[in-house]
Chain A
Amino acid sequence: MKSQTVYDAKGMHWKSIILIFVCQLVLIFNAPVFAQNCPITTAVRTICKQIGNAEVVSVSSPFGAYPKSQPVVYWHDDEWKIDMLPNLTSDGELSMKITPHNGSMKIVNFDAVLFVQVDSITRNQGDGVIVIGEPNGMSSVFSIVDLKLGKIMAGGLLYEPSISPDRRFLLYKNWYLPHVGGENQYVLYDTLKTLEENTCGYGENNPEYKRKSDQIGITQVYPYQANCLEEEGDTDDNNGISNFIWSSDSSKVVFADVKSGIISLILVKMPHDDSDKNLDRDKEHEGDRDRGRDRYNDRPQTLTYKFVGTQNVCAGAATCDSNNVHSIAWNGDSVNVSLVQANSTGPAIVKNLTIPLSKFVPLAK
């Protein structure tokens, strides 16, 4: 990412508009070219980014009401211009216009109930985009769209989606009825694979998975599922307490989860080393550094590190949540984590720890 500009535009009146105008004049002389053109839509937070040669505009909705029209959201690069259209179809659906550099324009419509607003469009490494939207203020929804076909290839309801820096992977929490509850299950979607290839058990010669219609397109990276089944005796109380922290090369991601009052770091190694992506999954090619992992076994790997003993900052505490995790950051082959322990007699105790990746334990298989 080269630049990012964020605008809050709730409740603007003429003074605000003048201020923004002045700010934009300032930006003309002080900011990258794209920032000065960052569109402002009332009632949403607009985020303008330049990703490589692409100009990208996305939004979030912290102010309550959705704007009457779909706010400006697009991905423009040298090959594709993908824009959300402001108006609904006659069926009340949002529409996305796909314009290739050479070729004919296509329109993709999204389900009227599930997509009341599209927040972002992110092109993957190929000719696909990850579209993230909202059905309401709480849940999220995604669609994988094939740009050449102009067709939705996969998608569904989810919570807290996170796209890897290389824009290949989508990591999210599974959706459940928010008022009924459910544990956090973390799902990884590889946008360079098909829906079927993303299904748990694909290629593992396990006929069981094919019967589970609710698992098609699902690769749950945590908690562990033996044979794509929920772990026996699981207390179903996993709860994510941090954001997903991707390594800059997108080869791995780490986050914090709490279960039964114990915080763990969850490390997920992506299916391949991104540095040899053009050669990946090619057994015959000597340049493929991980060619031992073929198309069927090219699965994400999950490892965990539990904070126990003196590192258990939740011991005896009434709560154990994101307030106990101050920060998580990559540090080469280690993870720096700053944990916070409540202290009934004084200031909270901060524990800064460095966890080498060698200390992480693979999930049981």
Chain B
Amino acid sequence: MAGSPNGAYNNPGFLTFSNDNPGFLIGLIAISMYDGSSGPQNITDPAGDKCQVIADVTSPTGCTDLGSDGEGGPPPYCVGLGGHWQIFTCSNYTDPSGSLTITPVSPWAYDVSVLAIGGSFSRISAIITDTSDIKNGNVTVNLSAPSGTTGDLMLDFNGSDASGPELAQAPFPALSPGTQTLQLTFDSIDPGIYPMANGTWDANVPGASGVQSVTVPDYTLPTPWTYFRKIFYTQYNVPHESACSGGDADAWLVDTSCNFTKIRLNSAFITAVWTNGTGISEHYGTLKNAAGVKLGSGNGQKCQNKYPSGAIGSTPKLPNGKNGNGNTFEVVSSITGSCNTTLVADQSLAAPSSILSSVQVLSCGDQLNLDDGDYTTASTRTVSDLCPYCSNTSPFNNPTSPMYGADGHIDAFSSNPSCTGKSVGSLGFFYTSYPTN
């Protein structure tokens, strides 16, 4: 900014300068008081920008007690050029013509006149410049201010969730000028869809006695940030009969016409397929839990009351107290999820059928970014299946549940062919965003 104050000698006083870099202004004025009194000064500009006097400066003359309370100093009166100095600031000064009007405030209007005004002007600003990696909590800002300035930045993300408006605030203490990439505290950002951000930087400028509050201009994200926060990822797999140990047992194949064929399968594999829903047998191809394809024996299932003796199409509790499972399966040609696409190991996932994390329902093909909290992408997964049970939210509030503290639950498809879930396990918690670009 090319400051060219040419002084102001009347009440009100005027200041003009060229303003080629709109933003925050800081300047210095000198005011002479012929009767030894001082008082608060209002500094306004034609555009109505927010300006305020923020400090009284008594040097270099011998005046004393010239505080903002308007008390004048004891004799000798402060007169002449060595009068009252004040630093002033204007937040978000945007007037390109560059002019200010300085008006003493009553009752001092007749006691105070502006004799001179001058000083150097510098700009203080805080601008969001990049959110391309906000899916991993990274936001770049540019802070401009005199050297030595430091201050607390509050970024406000304005958006909504399924229930209505949402405001998420991200504080960053004691930031210095410069371009810097900030890392959001994942847990403190509420789940929501955020298309816009702004904020405030409370800068402590050297030489100024107060905090300079700078508005961070509105920033529209290139793509709204849809943030689900803390999602617990369990895993499901397709067990292979070849990975199962132990002996064989009777099992049944059922087709869509409710025809049954008795076969033999590894007994552990029978349990594993029944529990997981799908499995790959050694001799019969890919098998699906009959109840899962509506060919079970329970209420509302197509083959209800058509099951032959020994074939089980539901999950029973056996009279001997053992944990029961069905033993009837349909042969299918490929491993597909509810989206009718082939499941891809370690890429596909099953999403809840209802709104995830109070934000939105996921759709087939949606891509999610998983971040384990280190501000980098751990993996990218695609919705290819549905997990109706994942809509259950009560485990999130149960301290004894592995999902305690989660905002949502997703089941990820694993390539592990294991017969049991031990080596499959879960993926655990990930901060999850959508989309990934």
> A249 within 8 Å of B by Cβ?
no
**Is B16 on the interface with A (CB-CB < 8 A)?**
no
The segment from A177-185, A201-209, A274-282, A302-310 that touches chain B is A177-185
Q: Is A227 an interface residue (CB 8 A)?
A: no
Q: Which parts of B202-243 form the interface with A (CB within 8 Å)?
A: 232, 234-236
B323 contacts A143, CB within 8 Å? yes
User: Interface 1/0s, chain B 77-118, versus A by CB < 8 A?
Assistant: 000000000000000000000000000000000000000000
Q: A61-B402, A65-B425, A243-B397 are in contact. Are A218 and B317 (CB under 8 A)?
A: yes
The smallest C-beta distance from B379 to any residue of chain A, in angstroms, reads 13
Residues of A within 8 A of B401 (CB): 60, 160
A215, B319: Cα distance in complex, Å: 10
* A154 part of interface (Cβ distance < 8 Å): yes
User: Does A242 belong to the interface (CB within 8 Å)?
Assistant: yes
A167 to B317, alpha carbons, bound, how many Å?
21
Given contacts A116-B421, A138-B389, contact A321 B165 (CB under 8 A): no
Give the complex CA separation of A217 and B318 in angstroms. Answer: 8
Q: Is B63 engaged at the interface, CB distance under 8 Å to the other chain?
A: no
Judging by beta carbons under 8 Å apart, are A323 and B317 in contact? no
Q: Are B323 and A322 closer than 8 Å at their CB atoms?
A: no
Interface size class of A (residues with CB under 8 A): 35 or more
Cα(A182)–Cα(B315), bound, Å: 13
Q: Is the CB of A322 within 8 A of B394?
A: yes
Given A179-B236, A182-B388; A242-B355 close (CB under 8 Å): no
- Is B316 among interface residues, defined by CB-CB distance under 8 A? yes
B419 to chain A: which residues have CB within 8 Å?
112-113
Instruction: Report yes or no: B411 in contact with A66, Cβ–Cβ below 8 A.
Output: no
| Known A-B contacts A160-B398, A179-B411, A319-B358; A344 and B164 likewise in contact (beta carbons under 8 Å) | yes
Indicate with 1 or 0, residue by residue over A211-235, a CB within 8 angstroms of chain B CB atoms. Answer: 0011111100000000000100000
Mask for A149-167, Cβ within 8 A of B = 1, else 0? 0011111110110000000
Expressed in whole angstroms, the minimum distance between the Cβ of A314 and any Cβ of chain B is 11
For the complex, give the distance between the alpha carbons of A91 and B347 in Å.
32
Contact indicator A319/B289 (Cβ below 8 Å): no
A149-B270 Cα distance, complex, nearest whole Å: 28
A64:B427 contact, CB within 8 angstroms: yes
Say which residue of B297, B323, B386, B427 sits within 8 Å of A111 (CB atoms): B323
Interface set of B (CB-CB < 8 Å, partner A): 162-165, 232, 234-236, 245-246, 268, 271-272, 275-277, 289, 291-292, 297-299, 312, 314-319, 321-325, 337-338, 350, 353-355, 358, 385-398, 400-404, 411, 419-429
Give 8 A-B contacts (CB < 8 Å), ordered by A residue. Answer: A45-B402, A66-B423, A175-B315, A180-B292, A317-B162, A318-B355, A319-B355, A321-B355
Known: A112-B268, A155-B321. 11 other contacts (CB 8 A): A134-B421, A136-B236, A137-B421, A138-B411, A177-B292, A180-B291, A214-B316, A216-B317, A239-B391, A240-B392, A242-B397
The 6 closest A-B pairs by CB, nearest first: A181-B388, A342-B163, A137-B426, A136-B421, A64-B428, A137-B234
